[in-house]
Amino acid sequence: MRLLFIKTLTLLSCYFSNSQVFDIETIKFSGDDDKRINIVILSEGYQTSELSQFIIDATNFTNDMFGQSPFLEYTNYFNVYAIKVPSVESGADHPGTGSDEPIPNVPVSSVDTYFNATYDGYGYHRLLYAQDVTAINTVLANNFPAYDQAMILTNSTYYGGSGGEFPISSTGVSANEISIHEIGHSFADLKDEYYPGDILAAEAINMTQETDPTLVKWKNWMGSNGIGIYQYCGSGSCASWYRPHQNCKMQSLGVPFCSVCKEGIIEKIHSLVSPIDAYIPTNNTVNDPTYPFQFQLNLIATIPNTLKINWTLNSNLFTSNVDNVSLLDSNLNIGINTLVAIVYDDSNLLQIDNHESTHAYTVSWTINKNTMGIDEISSTTHNFSISLHPTPSNNIINIVYESTTNSTLSVDIIDLNGKKIKSINLQNKNSIDIRSFSEGLYFANFYSNSVLIATKKIIKI
């Protein structure tokens, strides 16, 4: 009985120690958590008396990160929180086993920290990582389960860090630059632009084995801002791999992200959060409204603001690049009317083909007008992602379509004279056969339930 009692106490002790709730401090707040990307910073190797320094370190990192492009331009899309996790001792382990440093310049030590952070990871002295990933997941689950990206700041003055699911860095020399570099890995799946080794070499946003400048994934950047196709090295396995730039933050600390990496980060931002923060009216029944009737969007602005808006009424362009519109009685037909606001990002940091419809965000209002006035207004929001490849093409163009709605998607192919030459319905993935087309430029108009949501260019060669 005594043994059972002791075991029960032990289990309860483990449960409560693994379910601890810690103080959370807001470092940066831009809006509701469910409408922003939430970065959560965890402290490691900070004793309770040092947690005030952790907040200073976390704030300095945040200021550095959002002082650099493209996080600077998209700062309004992020919240940053710091979880104060105290450790018994300060710092991180230094086993002295790094094969790249046969005579350790750092004293060998073992310290008691919450996530068991250690240097000398996988034989590299500067590879700092947290050994207790289970503890990280538990702290996040109990304190901030709605995180989008978590990272670890380790209270150590020695250079070190690593990427992975939870990027980690010390607070020593170039600490913030290490963290931002590692965020590039963890947040946007960027590759190192120094050779990362055969195991980590793979096709990615900024790494490829493609050498044709017309086919390489960053083809639209070729020849601008130093973008080219640069070999990682001249011999061995790395000779078959190429990067887009010779001096990017994914290669060297203290320099900006190259244009290709900036674009990759922005694309990730757009995949996680809509630029539409709120809109009015929402679903409601309207009794005897006063004209003009107002419709408004509240957007999460970029800096400078590069968001564009197209408003369509009953599939016809109504106005552009205004946050609100006013409808008069004369604008509406008797019966069902559809007002749609389509929002896209027109940033010059994006050179993806037809990016204005790669990530399109819409609000659609259905307006039921009878002879006595507007009877009812209902609204819905949708996020669309549409991509075409390859383009230019001489035979088949593949279409990949993702949406937050199950609405039917159709596409009309229009020539330069405005003539419709092809019309098809699409599923989640489909293709267009353009072998019978004459060489030249065409437009693909995409419709969701008869509402125009995007226009893309098609080039037949």
pLDDT 10s per residue in the chain (461 long)? 333 333 334 443 444 445 689 999 999 999 999 899 999 999 999 999 999 999 999 999 999 999 999 999 999 999 999 999 999 999 999 998 888 776 667 888 999 999 999 999 988 888 999 999 999 999 999 999 989 999 999 999 999 999 888 999 999 888 999 999 999 999 999 999 999 889 999 999 999 999 999 999 999 999 999 999 999 998 989 999 999 999 999 999 999 999 999 999 999 998 888 899 998 887 665 555 678 888 999 999 999 999 999 999 988 889 999 999 999 989 999 888 888 888 989 999 998 765 444 567 888 888 888 755 555 555 566 666 677 777 678 888 888 776 666 666 788 887 766 678 888 887 655 788 888 888 877 777 777 766 666 667 787 87
Whether 339 and 203 map to the same domain: the answer is: no
Whether 308 and 256 map to the same domain: the answer is: no
Tell me 17's DSSP state.
Answer: H
Is 287 a member of any domain?
no
Whether 67 and 135 map to the same domain: the answer is: yes
Q: Which of 273, 290, 308 is the last residue of a domain?
A: 273
Whether 31 and 179 map to the same domain: the answer is: yes
Whether 433 and 342 map to the same domain: the answer is: yes
Whether 36 and 171 map to the same domain: the answer is: yes
Whether 357 and 337 map to the same domain: the answer is: yes
Q: 100-131: string of b/e by CB count within 10 Å (b at 16+)?
A: ebeeeebeeeebebbbbbbbbbeebbbbbbbe
Whether 75 and 194 map to the same domain: the answer is: no
Is 282 a member of any domain?
no
Q: What are phi and psi of 36, to 5 degrees?
A: -135, 165
For residue 87, give its domain range: 16-188
Whether 124 and 210 map to the same domain: the answer is: no
How many CB atoms are located within 10 Å of the residue 29 CB? 12
Whether 214 and 183 map to the same domain: the answer is: no
d(CA 197, CA 241): 11
Is 228 a member of any domain?
yes
Handedness of CA 349, 380, 367, 293 (dihedral sign): negative
Whether 305 and 328 map to the same domain: the answer is: yes
Is 430 a member of any domain?
yes
- The verdict on pTM exceeding 0.95 is no
pLDDT of residue 289: 65
Beta strand extents in 178-244 (DSSP E only): 230-231, 242-243
Q: Which of 141, 164, 188 is the last residue of a domain?
A: 188
Number of domains within the chain: 3
pLDDT of residue 442: 79
270-274-278 Cα angle (round to 5):
160
